[in-house]
Amino acid sequence: MPILAQTSPVFQPAMRVIGLLVSIGNITRIVTTIPHQYDVGMIVRLNMPVGFTPQGLNQQVGEITDIIDPTTFYVGIDSSKLDGWTTPATFPENLQYPQVTPVGEVNSQLDDATRNVLPY
C-alpha cells in the first residue's frame, strides 16, 4: 500500500507527495498534491521512488527559494540536465509516491523548528 500524506499531521512541517516537477534553469519547481505549508528558507529533501524520473533528484537536498501558491514552490536544485518528469506506466499498490520532506531551515531563520501544532 502506498504512503500518502496526512493533511494535518502532528509533526510539522510534514512530508508532502510530489505531483509534478519542472526544471527551470538552475532551480526546480515542485507542485505538491495538497497544500505544503512550507516557508522560504526551509531545506527539503526529494525522494524519487523507482519508476519516477528524474532519478537524479533522488535524495537531493535544497533550499526553498520562493513560494508561488499553497501547492507550488521553487527549490534551489539544478535539474536542467536531468530527464523530464515521468510517472510509471503501471503503478502497483506496493510502490511509493515521490515525496518532498523538510529536513532543516536556514540557520538565521529558526521559525519552523519551533512551530507547535498541538493541541488540535
Decide if 5 is inside a domain.
no
In a domain, 115, yes or no: no
- Is 112 a member of any domain? no
Average of per-residue pLDDT across 4-12: 70
* Neighbour count for residue 94 (Cβ, 10 Å): 7
Domain range spanning residue 40? 16-88
Q: Which residues is 47 bridged to in the sheet?
A: 99
47-75 confidence digits (pLDDT tens): 998 888 899 999 999 999 999 999 999 99
Tell me: pLDDT of 14 over 90: no
Q: Is 11's pLDDT higher than 50?
A: yes
What is the domain-level CATH number for residue 58? 2.40.30
With respect to residue 95, please indicate whether it lies within any of the assigned structural domains: no
The string of pLDDT tens digits covering residues 74-120 is: 999 999 888 888 888 776 666 788 999 998 887 776 666 556 566 55
Please say whether the dihedral angle defined by the alpha carbons of residues 28, 94, 103 and 101, taken in this order, is positive or negative: positive
**Any domain includes 108:** no
Q: What is the pLDDT of residue 29?
A: 96
- The number of folded domains in the chain is 1
The confidence band for 44, taking pLDDT boundaries of 50, 70 and 90, is very high
- Let me know if 16 is exposed, middle or buried by CB neighbors in 10 A (0-12, 13-18, 19+): buried
For residue 7, tell me if it sits in a domain: no
